[in-house]
Structure 1
Amino acid sequence: MPKATKISPESEITDQQREAAEAEIREKQKVVDYDTKEYPVEVLVKKYRDGLDEDINELYIPDYQREMIWEETRQSKFIESLLLGLPIPYIFVADLRPKQEDDEEDLARLEIVDGTQRIRTLDRFLNNKLKLCELEKLEQLNNFKFSDLPLARQRRFNRATIRMIVLTEKADEETRRDMFERINTGSVQLNEMEKRRGISPGPFVDLLEELAKTDKFRKLCPISEALVSKREPEEFVLRFFAYLNNYQNFERRVNKFLNEYLQEHNHAKINQKGMRSEFHKMLDFVDTYFPNGFSKAKGHVKTPRIRFEAISVGVALALREKPDLKPKSIKWLDSPEFKEYTTSDASNSRPKVIKRIEYVRDQLLGQS
């Protein structure tokens, strides 16, 4: 056995600190009981598909998980890996037992903690909704659907097994969310808004999702479909509220600033009605007076975050001071000052955050 490493006499850590650290580890450790299962592909898809429309399927995707974001090329490569017999990462699920043994309405279900993209890909492939593409090893299978495979190969694919880690009912919701976050800090990275939605569900997150789907918002603030699937619209709405109500306290770390604001306001007592109203009034004003909305020009399919922040927050601040505001011109959008304040290197600069927001506010109020 390897010998334990001796503590260096030059260490700055005291015995009291070590004892405190060890006590903290013991206190914060969570009991994560689990079992290992192995299921054929056909069975996994059946557990996911049966009862899906009625939301009673045994293998289900919880609210805090993300949408289907794998593009078809990545889905195809996953199927290719299975066909080649390559090792597949474990799928993590949580066994949700009924609250009472005789409670028939509270079905025992398996909540997917990690593996939704793989399960959805299998479901799409077996139901002929996925046509394989850009395969490099099995080039002859490009453009194949599942039904195009020989019957013998279909059966072999259905019999291929995937391993699953099943957390027992002792793993509470906090544990599952913590595991979800930690698993997703590797491999295909979740972006910050996906993490926030997964880790911190609540009334404010629900409001962000609602407002992000507003038709007028999507029209004025064009965002590519790829970014929509990664919850970029929700990110924009969060930035609007965080900067509107706290921009003067911004320092340099955007994600820390947004996370702290979200955590502080993600509770049942937030004024959803007032926030919703202010957001819509801001959109109405931009729709009336800004021909290109938040974009630089007509036809753009991407809206720079900092341009959106400057315009949306500046407009909302101006409307707070003068609700009946009617500007005579917005030619200042093409000014050297505005361009300087909204260049890409300005995003983490506190002075520029303040300047670009207040510049828009002051330009609007100065014309009234």
Structure 2
Amino acid sequence: MNKIQNLEERLQGTRNSLSTDRLDMSFGEIMSMYERDEIIIDPDFQRLFRWDTYQKTRFIESILIGIPVPPIFVAEDENGRWELVDGLQRISTVFSFFGILKNTQDKNNWIMCKGDLTEELENLACKDLPLKFQLNIKRATCRIEIIKWNSAFDMRYELFNRLNTGGSELTDQEIRNAIFRGVSKDFNIFLRKCAEHPKFIQLIQPTERQLEQLYMDELVLRFCALIDGQDDLSENISQHMTNYMKKAVSDSERIPQLQVKFEEMVELLHPVGKEVFRGSNNVFSTSLYDCVSIGITKYFEKYKNVRTDELIEKVNQLKESESFKKASGSASASKSRILKRIEVANEIFG
């Protein structure tokens, strides 16, 4: 079979795994569906609504002057309800403008700033607009692209990843959480619980932006994917974490054991302090995070009773290792570098 035949089969197979439909709907109809809980914006996803007042005003202005609205993507669940996949910023802007956005009432009934084309919008809320303008917004139509329930979840992930057209791009972890919550929320809840562990936060010292973008959740997933899914390592760590989470959300039985391993690792490393995952430049290093967390977890029985100064000595030994340095730096997310870091972790901690 030649390359072109392989290409045709691969493309056809991928197309067959995707089942879609499309509708043109008014924002008023979408709002009514939302109020009847027929279109779901999950609270974990909804908190990612982060357009500023200028971006929101610009979108409302676009609707009022008749600029076409880009398509919104939803995923149909097993009950026929729609879960928002792409279009969070646009949908949430309209919902909050009319004061119906759930779970985040503080974002409702916001006041516009000057529009790019209509300065007169400044200081106006929805209730201040003439009724005909409010109705213009509700009657504005939007194309809804529906990803049917029988579509492959990895294809839903790819759609979200490629078609995330909002003003603030989502991180890989935000996308994973949004897509895979449709299978089961147990694993998402587990990631969130671990991410909020006070001692873990003290070790990582995340910025506010990192917290907002679920960086802590991603680090927990990274730990799980390398400890529990090492044998299926993909060519790229981000893709590996996606593949691992796709499997993990369907297998809640693994969660208790993973939680124990994660908490043991955090408790043991917490006395070492935030320097444990930082190199000479005092910047957090995912390469150090991989090596230290894996090494400590794999050989936990050996280290659970050692003094903190002995543990620090081991970590410093790792940082000074030439093998570790070669497996870090550029291309550190590749499979070969990660496997090398795991090898180094076994050498140093084992």
Q: CA deviation at 1:272?
A: 1.9
Say yes or no: does 1:79 pair with 2:68.
no
Q: CA deviation at 1:159?
A: 4.1
Counterpart in the other structure of 2:330 = 345
In 2, the alpha carbon distance for the partners of 1:86 and 1:25 equals 37
> CA 1:240/1:77 → structure 2, altered by over 3 Å: closer, same or farther?
same
> CA 1:268/1:131 → structure 2, altered by over 3 Å: closer, same or farther?
same
Counterpart in the other structure of 2:130 = 151
Say which of 317, 339, 349 aligns to 2:298: 317
Counterpart in the other structure of 2:103 = none
In 2, the alpha carbon distance for the partners of 1:355 and 1:94 equals 39
Counterpart in the other structure of 1:163 = 142
Matched to 1:28, the amino acid is N
> CA 1:23/1:252 → structure 2, altered by over 3 Å: closer, same or farther?
closer
Say yes or no: does 1:172 pair with 2:153.
no
Say which of 233, 256, 272 aligns to 1:289: 272
Say yes or no: does 1:258 pair with 2:241.
yes
Query: How is 1:60-79 mapped onto 2 (pairs within 5 angstroms)?
Result: 60-61=40-41, 67-72=47-52, 73-79=54-60
Say which of 7, 10, 31 aligns to 1:45: 31
Say yes or no: does 1:28 pair with 2:16.
yes
Q: CA deviation at 1:240?
A: 0.9
Q: CA deviation at 1:280?
A: 0.5
SS of residue in 1 equivalent to 2:62: helix
Say which of 297, 305, 314 aligns to 2:286: 305
TM-score, structure 1 as length reference? 0.68
Counterpart in the other structure of 1:236 = 219
Q: CA deviation at 1:86?
A: 1.1
In 2, the alpha carbon distance for the partners of 1:248 and 1:273 equals 20
Larger CA deviation: 197-206 vs 117-126:
197-206
Say yes or no: does 1:115 pair with 2:87.
yes
Q: CA deviation at 1:266?
A: 4.2
In 1, the alpha carbon distance for the partners of 2:348 and 2:289 equals 16
Larger-Rg structure: 1
Q: What CA RMSD, in Å, does the superposition of the two structures yield over aligned residues?
A: 4.5
Say which of 216, 219, 228 aligns to 2:199: 216
Please state which structure has a larger fraction of its residues in helix: 2
Matched to 2:16, the amino acid is K
Counterpart in the other structure of 2:176 = 196
Kept after mapping to 2: 8 A contact 1:66/1:198: no
How many residue pairs get aligned? The number is: 330
TM-score, structure 2 as length reference? 0.71
In 2, the alpha carbon distance for the partners of 1:79 and 1:119 equals 11
Matched to 1:172, the amino acid is W
Kept after mapping to 1: 8 A contact 2:187/2:248: yes
Structure 2 spans left out of the alignment, 5+ residues: 100-107
Kept after mapping to 2: 8 A contact 1:88/1:162: yes
Matched to 1:353, the amino acid is I
Structure 1 spans left out of the alignment, 5+ residues: 1-10, 51-55, 99-107
Matched to 2:91, the amino acid is I
Matched to 2:338, the amino acid is V
